[in-house]
Structure 1
Amino acid sequence: MSLYELMLSQLAPANILKGKKILSYEENELGITVCCADDSTYCGDILVGADGTHSRIRQILHKNLSNRGLLTKADREHNSPVYVCAAGVAPAQSPEKYPFLKDPYVHFCDVLGSNGMGWSTVNIPDNQICWSLWMQLDMKNVAKVHQEFENPEFVAADTEPIVREFRNRPCPHGGTMGDLIDATPDALKSRAYIGEKMYDTWHHGRTVLLGDGRLIF
């Protein structure tokens, strides 16, 4: 059973809501109220934003604190894309081709190349191998990708412009990264733009933030 399924199995189905987009929230001494794009509202004691560095909760919290003059100088500074990253999952690889899959351990391998390039692999159950590739952006291209950078998730997009730079790079487990890339269905590949930012503000009032506070490789 995957970790995702295991976590879901511990929760009552009635407590899981999907397809919700938070627009705003308000809090007072009695609790906190979240307002969603479909005009629904939900009330509770605390609000936990656990959706990464581009968290909508983080954005609202920072805006509210900034309007009150309570946000730190570092958190007021703009977060810009620095790297472009492609990632994927190669399903059910052969232990004969990748002997490390025969042992019961998880292997994390990171390779730091030149010119701001790097790649990594990690094995997961069922002999699957996750991989990621990243390269530093040319500063003249930062403005062009800023809108996609604001998307908080990896997206299904054309990864070929990135992966072709890595096809002949050696895989830590043998062969090349191109072998893993070609073994990965397009549906299991994605792309994202990554920034470098260390936040100071992680909580205020009834709101707390979890997740990626520093996104670097």
Structure 2
Amino acid sequence: MTDSTKPTVLIVGGGIGGVALGMLLHKAGVPFEIYERATTVKPLGTAMNFNATTAVMMKQCGVYDEFMAVAKPFSAVQVGNTHRTIDYKIDFSEQEELFGAKGFIISRPDIYDLLVRQVPKEHFHLGKKVISSEQTNEGVILRFSDGTTAEGHILVGADGAYSSIRQHMYDQLKKEGRLPATDGEPLPFSSLCLVGQTKSLDPSVFPSLALDESQVMTVLIKDTPYACSIFTTKKNTVAWAVGEILDENRSKEGEKNEEWGPGAAEAMCQLSRDFPVISGGEKPLTMGDLIDWTDKDYITKVMLEEKVFETWYDGRIVLLGDACHKINPAGGAGATNAVHDAVTIANWIHALPPNPTKQEIESYFEEYKKERLPKAKEAYDSSRMFKSISSKSYLGWIAAVCFKHMPSWMNRTLLSSMMAYRPTVSFLPDAEDKGTVKPAHQHSLETRRILKERQEAATTAAVKA
């Protein structure tokens, strides 16, 4: 495609997935714009797990070394108790041998900053709240609350669990009788979480910060529905979370829950102050210490939803990340799956024919969904398994027994089911993958064949002319 025949992509949502897609489209030479409703981007959130499944893409984009400079490797998830001892570990130590790269813990602000710096500033627009979206046979139109509009050829909804783009698209599909009943149901809530990240600490205060590997720990608080998690980072901060698994009645209350409102985060801070923390030192620390070491403006309380939608696209509109699959963070798969979506969408957009029609765009988005929906469902199931550990339910007990006594061959099988799929950017030079487990089939690499055949046909036609 020439510059004049490439489709212009409008991305709504400037989170991890939206920015990753912007970075990839920029490298593909595809025109794009990112629209984010927030007027400023706050460094909110805790830590994220980026494993071997995203290493290939980062290496191809030339950001892997910079990523490793601000991320800390980890080899296990440790599960402890209120006596500040470890009951068992979930082993990830073979990740590099099996899949060619280590797993890393990185604070959300750090990975976001790294990705957003890869996107030219003139393509990133803040304070753009979408009030309506429309598609025609010729293109898409966005209207914003500030009275401005934007036009393009493709619209990507990367605007989170309560995506306005998904809602607009679903409203139209429902009018036409084309929306599956399950997609029209409200998002189910499964848990609530208080999250934050401390200032940089001296390792003498929190000794496990001095270790070469990130300490990823979950402490189950006895006789309560709560669990505390910590993640030590490269910058000597402690990212932390206090989670509560909701019962069936409370999970239905959603945003109407009476705990929401001013002071909700503070109330949960007070409730969890005495919960024990494992710091690696002799001095017993609590969640209260971590809370006191955290800027209060960056402590947030969030309700966590879980759902994989069946409808991911319609015509020129396609969804990405939480907008089409909201995965519980217990398995650390939310951000990685948003990046996987971005790679797959970018591969298919790059392979579109010149001046693509609405039907051609939709057919390529069908191929995107064909690859990503099964993987999103696998991640959803895996995250629910990890979540059960904190639930103190019968299923949680079974999961704990399995992890405690899991033989090494079974652990490798489990890891392979989670990390054999390592998406490659089809239009960038391949990165070396030294993993002993061969990468799983990636349907969007078919775009290389499509482009080669199109180029050969064009050359033949030119010779005949």
Q: Is the 8 A contact 2:226 2:245 kept in 1?
A: yes
- Which of 118, 125, 128 lines up with 1:20 in the alignment? 128
- Which of 33, 45, 49 lines up with 2:141 in the alignment? 33
Give the superposition deviation at 1:4.
3.1
Q: Is the 8 A contact 1:81 1:195 kept in 2?
A: yes
Per the alignment, residue 160 of structure 1 pairs with 266
Cα gap change, 1:162 to 1:10, in 2 (>3 Å): same
TM-superposition CA deviations, 1:45-69 (whole Å, max 9, x none): 2222222211111211222222211
- Which of 241, 246, 256 lines up with 1:132 in the alignment? 241
Per the alignment, residue 214 of structure 1 pairs with 326
TM-score by length of 1: 0.82
Structure number with the bigger relative contact order (C-alpha 8 A, sep ≥ 6) is 1
Give the superposition deviation at 1:80.
4.4
Where do 1:51-70 residues align within 5 Å? 51-70=159-178
Greater shift in the superposed pair: 10-19 or 191-200: 191-200
Q: Distance in 2 between matches of 1:110 and 1:33?
A: 46
Q: Distance in 2 between matches of 1:183 and 1:98?
A: 11
Give the superposition deviation at 1:106.
3.1
Point out where structure 2 has 5 or more consecutive residues left out of the alignment: 1-69, 71-109, 331-465
Q: Distance in 1 between matches of 2:144 and 2:239?
A: 34
Give the superposition deviation at 1:140.
6.4
Q: Is the 8 A contact 1:156 1:187 kept in 2?
A: no
Give the superposition deviation at 1:186.
0.9
Where do 1:78-93 residues align within 5 Å? 78-93=186-201
Cα gap change, 1:65 to 1:37, in 2 (>3 Å): same
Where do 1:101-180 residues align within 5 Å? 101-113=209-221, 115-137=224-246, 139=249, 143=253, 145-146=255-256, 158-174=264-280, 175-180=285-290
Q: Is the 8 A contact 2:193 2:302 kept in 1?
A: yes
Larger radius of gyration: 2
Q: CA RMSD in A?
A: 3.0
TM-score by length of 2: 0.41
Q: Distance in 2 between matches of 1:37 and 1:47?
A: 18
> Is 1:191 the counterpart of 2:297 in the alignment?
no
Q: Is the 8 A contact 1:157 1:190 kept in 2?
A: no
Paired letter, 1:131:
W
Per the alignment, residue 46 of structure 1 pairs with 154
Give the superposition deviation at 1:43.
1.4
Q: Is the 8 A contact 2:219 2:228 kept in 1?
A: yes
Q: Is the 8 A contact 2:135 2:141 kept in 1?
A: yes
Paired letter, 1:97:
V
Give the superposition deviation at 1:105.
2.9
**SS of residue in 2 equivalent to 1:61:** helix
TM-superposition CA deviations, 1:66-98 (whole Å, max 9, x none): 221121121111224443321111111221232
Give the superposition deviation at 1:111.
3.7
Per the alignment, residue 312 of structure 2 pairs with 202
Q: Distance in 2 between matches of 1:58 and 1:163?
A: 34
Q: Is the 8 A contact 2:190 2:251 kept in 1?
A: no
Paired letter, 2:320:
L
TM-superposition CA deviations, 1:171-204 (whole Å, max 9, x none): 2435222211121121121122223333222222
TM-superposition CA deviations, 1:148-175 (whole Å, max 9, x none): 99x9xxx985412212232222224352
- Which of 74, 79, 96 lines up with 2:182 in the alignment? 74
Q: Distance in 2 between matches of 1:43 and 1:168?
A: 53
**SS of residue in 1 equivalent to 2:294:** coil
Give the superposition deviation at 1:118.
2.2
Cα gap change, 1:53 to 1:62, in 2 (>3 Å): same
Cα gap change, 1:148 to 1:14, in 2 (>3 Å): farther
Q: Which has the larger strand fraction? A: 1
**SS of residue in 1 equivalent to 2:172:** helix
**Among the aligned pairs, what percent are the same residue?**
30
Paired letter, 1:211:
G
Q: Distance in 1 between matches of 2:257 and 2:173?
A: 24
